Structure 1
Amino acid sequence: MRDGTPLHPGAWWLWALGLGTAATRTTNPLLLGLLVAVSGYVVAVRRPDAPWARSYGAFVRLGLVVLAVRLLFAFFLGSPIPGTHVLLTLPEVPLPDWAQGIRLGGRVTVEGLVFAFYDALRLAALLVCVGAANALANPSRLLKALPGALYETGVAVVVALTFAPHLITDVRRLRAARRLRGRPDRGVRGLLHVGLPVLEGALERSVALAAAMDSRGYGRTVQVPAAVRRTTAALTVAGLLGVCAGTYGLLTAAGGVYGLPVLLAGLAAAVAGLWLGGRRTPRTRYRPDRWDVRAWLVAASGAGVAALLTLAASRDPGALRPGVVPLVAPELPLWPGAACLLGLLPVLVTPPPKSLRSGEEEPS
């Protein structure tokens, strides 16, 4: 194992999903802020200098938008949480009888706004964790690691994920060129002059990608018996339904008994369906990514954070879900906070990214 070998992209996604799962188990703003800080620090020290790695800031801004929208809704539409600390009273708009439970205006309480902030911060932290996976895992290398049954879907997702970074890069390059020539690069006029070359470049990349995929035999399949196709479809559909039902059971108090067994059965059926489906799309991998010890440690760190916060949520729900009625200041619980720091393990076991020169691809 070489020290400079890039980490398997699937390990980054498992690590980020583990942090995101941990974020869904708590509304404590201190723990959520700690999870965001952990993911942000790992991204800051392990993100390569590549166009696809610049999406983390967009996810952070999206999380801030989620916070702002949720607080605006709570301000103008009210909150189901009763409160005694009234900030102000807005003029209330009378609504018809069929809109019972919904109000426009009325009392704006501190408890309602704090509850909305806690709830939105949980979703924002989940978005930031997903953004960390996008910034750390090379989508092209992730496509190589997908099962054969998901290859076509994976190509579409990778093309969609890489289109926006390349588009932003083209816009910046063309605007800089126009500024050097003394031409306007802002406003409607500048946008019109920049838009056409950007769209032309995107079309050229699409044609080049289609030609490359055609020359490599993309879409080639083999004939399999009809019984195998039907079994594959049944296993995949049943597996996905089982995963959805099991996940719902784990997220609700009533389904805690059946949630984990149904989730495991669904995962097993989905894996079997993907394995059978991969027989129709034979592919070879040039220099495949190895799932080494570092990948196990990175994935285990994310899973450990998720498991420990799930355990803490069941044993001490008051610390992980601070109440707002009565309004109390949140406190940082000791061992759940230490569990969040387990997510920093990738900084210790992964190599720092190499400086990528312009036009140079990350080694695969």
Structure 2
Amino acid sequence: MSPLPARLPRDLHPVAWWLWALGLAAGASMTTNPLLLGLLVAVASLVVAVRRSDHPWSRSFRIYLWIGLAIVVIRVLFRILMGGGYGTRVLFTLPEIPLPDWVLDVQLLGAVTQESLLAGLYDGMRLATIVICIGAANALANPKRLLKSVPPALYEIGTALVVAVTVLPQLADSVRRVRAAQALRPGPTGRVGRLRRFLVPVLEDALERSLQLAAGMDARGYGRSAGLTVGQRRVTGALMLGGLIGVCIGVYAVLDTTAPRYLALPLLLGGLLVALLGMANAGRRVERSRYRPDRWRAPEIVIASAGLLVGALLRQVSRSDLDTAYPSLLAMPEVTLLALLAVLLGALPALVAPPAATVSAREAARDTAPVGAAA
């Protein structure tokens, strides 16, 4: 009996990776437990290490890790700078800087307690985890193929989307290229001189390459729709603006417990419906063919469902088990079985996703393919 054929390397649908990452980020926003947040970062790092490709944007995940570390450090330092005196367990005391009387409830330095440092650490870890989860999506999803999957109504702002989505992934590739170029020529030896010599070309190259891609799309007529009448533009604008106003009022009414309940959800749903109608009306006027469109298969469905399920389960934990989701600053954080399973579910793409379409994976697939398969 011949062995089962290995899965062919391919790039997954970029929306599946983004839904998975957004599910992890939503779950991280619903807890301050450092154990759960650390596990979420480990899960995202594992999936990126196993399933990322050799494209330039795949190297951007390391930048997000450094950004997350900087967020935690800055958050803790602000707790110390703005006074971390609330609490009972004083760790050390810094000379307090006196402030005018009109500055109420604000102090600089002073006594620093264990509770204030842990509060800053937990808040910083939550924000850093959200940033790292978004960075995992940027490292795994092809940003160019992601633009092919946006609704037709958003094609007209495709240039701005290209610059926003590709500038940070291009930054990682620019770092590699600038380092290789500067290694071949001498330069300043001082720390400030080396930083300026390195930082300016990296930022300029990353932004210039993103703008070149956007200019190429604009030159090919990406997102343009001709033959629009004044009435069509006004109808589309009215629908989009009315939907946005309805969504804003509905979200405010949902969050405000004093608002009438019979207006909260109907306004929110009505605003979403009107906005969708406006997007559908704008999308019908955009005619564009797609070469080899991305299709949803079983791995995409499983990966997107796993990410959304992580967010749903951690939301349930935040509602039913406050001690686990928001641990006390005076006790050791704990993790329940449900919370642990919810986080570990996010590592499912490492097992389900097919191999990434790297150069080595494509060569291995070509070598192991049966004779005549290419025909």
- The more displaced of 16-25 and 169-178 is 169-178
How far is 1:78 from its partner? 1.9
Question: For residue 325 of structure 2, what is the amino acid of its counterpart?
Answer: L
Distance 2:202 2:36 in 1: 46
Matched-pair contact (CA < 8 Å) for 2:21–2:137: yes
What does the per-residue CA deviation read over 1:244-275, in whole Å, with 9 as the maximum and x for residues that have no partner? 56666777887897876655444433322221
Q: Tell me the residue number matched to 2:113.
A: 109
Q: Tell me the residue number matched to 2:339.
A: 336
Instruction: Classify 1:22/1:206 alpha carbon distance in 2 versus 1 (closer, same or farther; 3 Å).
Output: closer
Matched-pair contact (CA < 8 Å) for 1:19–1:305: yes
Matched-pair contact (CA < 8 Å) for 1:15–1:298: yes
Match of 1:94 among 70, 91, 98: 98
How far is 1:174 from its partner? 4.8
Q: TM-score, normalised by structure 1?
A: 0.83
What does the per-residue CA deviation read over 1:139-196, in whole Å, with 9 as the maximum and x for residues that have no partner? 000011111221232332323443454455355435434534x634765389659967
The count of corresponding residues between Structure 1 and Structure 2 is: 351
Question: For residue 278 of structure 2, what is the amino acid of its counterpart?
Answer: G
Q: Tell me the residue number matched to 1:351.
A: 354
Q: TM-score, normalised by structure 2?
A: 0.81
Match of 1:57 among 43, 59, 62: 62
How far is 1:38 from its partner? 1.0
Instruction: Classify 1:106/1:195 alpha carbon distance in 2 versus 1 (closer, same or farther; 3 Å).
Output: closer
Q: Tell me the residue number matched to 2:145.
A: 141
Distance 1:317 1:5 in 2: 42
Q: Tell me the residue number matched to 2:177.
A: 173
Identity %: 47
Matched-pair contact (CA < 8 Å) for 1:174–1:194: no
Matched-pair contact (CA < 8 Å) for 2:156–2:224: no
Distance 2:314 2:55 in 1: 33
Distance 1:134 1:96 in 2: 46
1:280 aligned counterpart, secondary structure: coil
Instruction: Classify 1:113/1:212 alpha carbon distance in 2 versus 1 (closer, same or farther; 3 Å).
Output: closer
Q: Tell me the residue number matched to 1:291.
A: 296
How far is 1:106 from its partner? 1.9
What does the per-residue CA deviation read over 1:123-150, in whole Å, with 9 as the maximum and x for residues that have no partner? 1110010001100110000011111221
Matched-pair contact (CA < 8 Å) for 1:64–1:124: yes
How far is 1:75 from its partner? 0.9
RMSD: 3.3
Question: For residue 96 of structure 2, what is the amino acid of its counterpart?
Answer: E
Question: For residue 155 of structure 2, what is the amino acid of its counterpart?
Answer: Y
Matched-pair contact (CA < 8 Å) for 1:178–1:185: no
Kindly indicate whether residue 20 of structure 2 is the aligned counterpart of residue 15 of structure 1: yes
Distance 2:354 2:304 in 1: 16
Q: How does 1:201-240 map to 2 (within 5 A)?
A: 206=211, 210-211=215-216, 213-214=218-219, 216-240=220-244
1:105 aligned counterpart, secondary structure: coil
Q: Tell me the residue number matched to 1:362.
A: none
Matched-pair contact (CA < 8 Å) for 1:27–1:320: yes
Instruction: Classify 1:308/1:190 alpha carbon distance in 2 versus 1 (closer, same or farther; 3 Å).
Output: closer
Note the residue ranges of structure 1 that are not aligned, 5 or more in a row.
Answer: 358-364
Kindly indicate whether residue 9 of structure 2 is the aligned counterpart of residue 4 of structure 1: yes
Distance 1:30 1:193 in 2: 37
What does the per-residue CA deviation read over 1:2-49, in whole Å, with 9 as the maximum and x for residues that have no partner? 843421101111110011000011111111111111111111111111
Matched-pair contact (CA < 8 Å) for 1:223–1:280: no
Q: Tell me the residue number matched to 2:306.
A: 301
Instruction: Classify 1:317/1:252 alpha carbon distance in 2 versus 1 (closer, same or farther; 3 Å).
Output: farther
Q: Tell me the residue number matched to 2:371.
A: none
